[in-house]
Amino acid sequence: MCCFFQRAEAATHVRRVGLRPLVVATPAGSLNATLNGVVWKPFSQLTHQKIKTTLWTDLTEANYSQLRSGKQNWSLVLIEDDAAETGCAQGLFLPFPATASESSNADPARCGVPALSLDYALSWDSSRFSDTPTWRDFWDVARHPGKRGLRADPRITLEIALLADGVPPDAIYSTLGSSAGLDRAFRRLAQLRPYIVWWTSPAEAMHILTKGAALMSVTPTSEVTVANIGLPTPRFRNLWFPLLRVNYDWVIPANGTRDLTSALALATWATASEQQSALNAQLITSAPASAQPRVGTLPPAFPLNVDFWRMNFPAIKARFDQWLSQH
């Protein structure tokens, strides 16, 4: 019954959309082609409303300034959920009104709604490395010479540093939450520092591998799938456990779109259950049968801890940026 009301509400909203193109800001990567096929193109066909996309790289200081200025005209932004909560707390994004299918107890202050998920894996070029590496191998540049691709952000990167140092996935955040554990992650990262190629978007993470700039990289599994399409033999591979799952939200900039009705219409369409199911079906790549015995009964992916990063990101990011500048 809920799905019927959700579709009906979306239809009510889309009939109200205007004629000006709606601008959506997303990270660079193959997910934009998926979004176009699953969300934007069907929406445009139904409403005759044009969608224009622009690329951005999360909440950098430059993007904070742009969002506060009101000079951008974005209707929707795709953003990691912990960053969405931070931006909401700072008034950068507008709250979403409750839908007809939701309880009257729905949070009136929510301003980020679930969009999609990406799984990040240890990925490598099998034409240069024929075995299946582990996170320890990722750090072992003596036995496996070559550059390594990592995200220029403490999120994902510090979790991986602790995985490479032998910390099990279920103890990552209890370790990272202590001063000694945080120091441990930075020490581990420092060991690899001279060999790191830094990236800031899913597209750049994959580009590092396809252009041979790194032997191994941390890459969304969906990017690897797309990169292998059309190749005679799949060249790029993933380590299927553990994966790091990053959840993304849709937000509406408070100083962005001048047409809030249209922005809400597009958000309603993008977050309908049909669109979300189709997106995750294409973006969440299942491990092949040959990898299942390695995974066993363990969960294939563990999500980044939103609460941890919401509380600790500013301080850890400042330390991370200072560490980068000193090397």
> Domain limits of the chain?
2-116+247-283, 119-244+298-325
Answer yes or no: are the C-beta atoms of 97 and 212 closer than 8 Å.
no
pLDDT score, position 299? 54
**Contacting residues for 208 by C-beta, under 8 A, at least 6 apart:** 147, 149, 197, 199, 214, 217
Task: Please state, in angstroms and rounded to a whole number, the distance separating the CA atoms of residues 202 and 181.
Answer: 27
Q: Which two tokens stand for residue 93?
A: 């994004």
Helices and strands in the chain: count of H runs, count of E runs: 15, 9
Task: Please state, in angstroms and rounded to a whole number, the distance separating the CA atoms of residues 283 and 266.
Answer: 20
Task: Please state, in angstroms and rounded to a whole number, the distance separating the CA atoms of residues 161 and 218.
Answer: 12
- Which residues are 159's β-sheet partners? none
Look at strands 74-80 and 196-199 and give their pairing: unpaired
pTM: 0.87
pLDDT score, position 98? 67
Q: What angle do CA 301, 152, 247 make, to 5 degrees?
A: 35
Look at strands 148-151 and 301-303 and give their pairing: unpaired
- Which residues are 124's β-sheet partners? 216, 237
Task: Please state, in angstroms and rounded to a whole number, the distance separating the CA atoms of residues 93 and 100.
Answer: 22
CATH number for the domain formed by residue range(s) 119-244+298-325: 3.40.190.10
pLDDT digit string (tens) for the chain, length 327 residues: 344 334 445 545 555 445 688 999 999 889 999 999 999 999 999 988 899 999 887 756 777 777 777 777 889 999 999 888 888 888 889 988 765 455 445 555 578 899 999 999 999 999 999 999 999 999 999 999 999 999 999 999 999 999 999 999 999 999 999 999 999 999 999 999 999 999 999 999 999 999 999 999 999 999 999 999 978 999 999 999 889 999 999 999 988 766 888 888 999 999 998 998 999 888 987 777 666 545 454 457 889 999 999 899 989 999 999 999 986
pLDDT score, position 18? 52
CATH topology of 2-116+247-283 equal to that of 119-244+298-325? yes
Answer yes or no: are the C-beta atoms of 161 and 153 closer than 8 Å.
no
pLDDT score, position 289? 63
Task: Please state, in angstroms and rounded to a whole number, the distance separating the CA atoms of residues 237 and 132.
Answer: 9
DSSP one-letter string for 300-311: SEEE--HHHHHH
CA atoms within 13 A on the CB side of 115: 27
Task: Please state, in angstroms and rounded to a whole number, the distance separating the CA atoms of residues 245 and 280.
Answer: 12
Q: What are phi and psi of 90, to 5 degrees?
A: -90, 5
Q: Which residue has the tokens 């959840």?
A: 247
Task: For domain 2-116+247-283, give the fold.
Answer: D-Maltodextrin-Binding Protein; domain 2 (3.40.190)
